Amino acid sequence: MLKPNLKLPKTLRFPTENEIPMNFSVLEKLKLSKNSNIIPGFTFQLKDNNIENKELHFKFYAEINIDNPKLWDLIIALSMTLPENCALIFGHIDFEINYGNYENKYAILNYIKEFETELTQDTFMNWGLIYHDGENLIEIFVDESKFLKYWGTDEERFRQIMNNFELKENKNLEFIDEYPKVRESIQLHFQNVLNTKELIDNLQEKFIV
């Protein structure tokens, strides 16, 4: 079984050849993954002049690979770049994202701490934290494959956080979702955890009126 140079969630792995369709392009992708550049680090790009970005008030965008055991701590560190009030976003990978009400950031983090395992391991769920007004957009988005996407306004502070976690900018960085992968139910690997639907139902009840 192939292993990237990145500690993935227990619920995510590369497939074996007998787990993928006998399709040339899929097989070729699987072979390429043997030499993939899926390692800790981040990509960085300044906001461009794309018409889709015109009304979005961020200054830069980054994607971040980090060893899964350190993911929660990085999320907490990046959350300190958000204002005191922000919103939780969350949803199943096959459905639209839910946007929670704007609430105190620390109250949100204290509540979801109980679900740290689910939020860092459940590969059938996307979630994050967002703040957006007429002048600023800051968003932390935890992809289903448990790497991070970040839209920010303070480059110096962002780079300091990356430095604190020993993450380096890498223009050639790759991500697990670029290759064939197998997602497994969180309940196959952990006891006493909520499944995806149960967690989403809980968060909807708590954060959406």
CA angle 122, 204, 93 (to 5 degrees): 35
Give the pLDDT of residue 2.
Answer: 45
Model confidence at 21: pLDDT above 80: no
Residue 56: band (very low, low, confident or very high) from pLDDT cuts 50, 70, 90: confident
Residue 1 binned pLDDT confidence (cut-offs 50, 70, 90): very low
On whether the CB atoms of residues 41 and 167 are closer than 8 A, the answer is: yes
pLDDT for 32 equals: 66
Higher-pLDDT residue of 29, 69 = 69
Least confident of 27-31, 37-41, 91-95: 27-31
Alpha carbons 153 and 29: distance in angstroms, whole number: 35
pLDDT band at 79 (very low <50, low <70, confident <90, very high): very high
Other Cβ atoms within 10 Å of 116 Cβ, number: 13
Query: In the prediction, which pLDDT does 192 show?
Result: 96
Considering only residues 208 and 17, tell me which one the structure prediction assigns the higher pLDDT. Answer: 208
**If DSSP codes are grouped into helix, strand and coil, which group holds residue 68?**
helix
> Could you count the other beta carbons within 10 Å of the beta carbon of residue 66?
23
Instruction: Specify the pLDDT at position 48.
Output: 80
Give the residue-averaged pLDDT of 13-34: 70
Q: What is the pLDDT of residues 134-181, one digit of tens each?
A: 889 999 999 999 999 999 999 999 999 999 999 999 999 999 998 888
> What integer best gives the mean pLDDT of the chain?
91
Beta-strand ranges (E) seen in the chain are 12-13, 41-46, 60-65, 85-92, 98-99, 103-104, 125-132, 137-142, 148-152, 182-183
pLDDT digits (tens, 9 = 90+) for 101-118: 999 999 999 999 999 999
C-alpha to C-alpha distance for 38 and 32, rounded to whole angstroms: 12
Task: Give me the pLDDT at residue 115, please.
Answer: 98
Region 82-98: mean pLDDT is 97
pLDDT given at position 51: 58
Instruction: Report the C-alpha gap between 16 and 197 in whole angstroms.
Output: 28
**So what's the pLDDT on residue 26?**
65
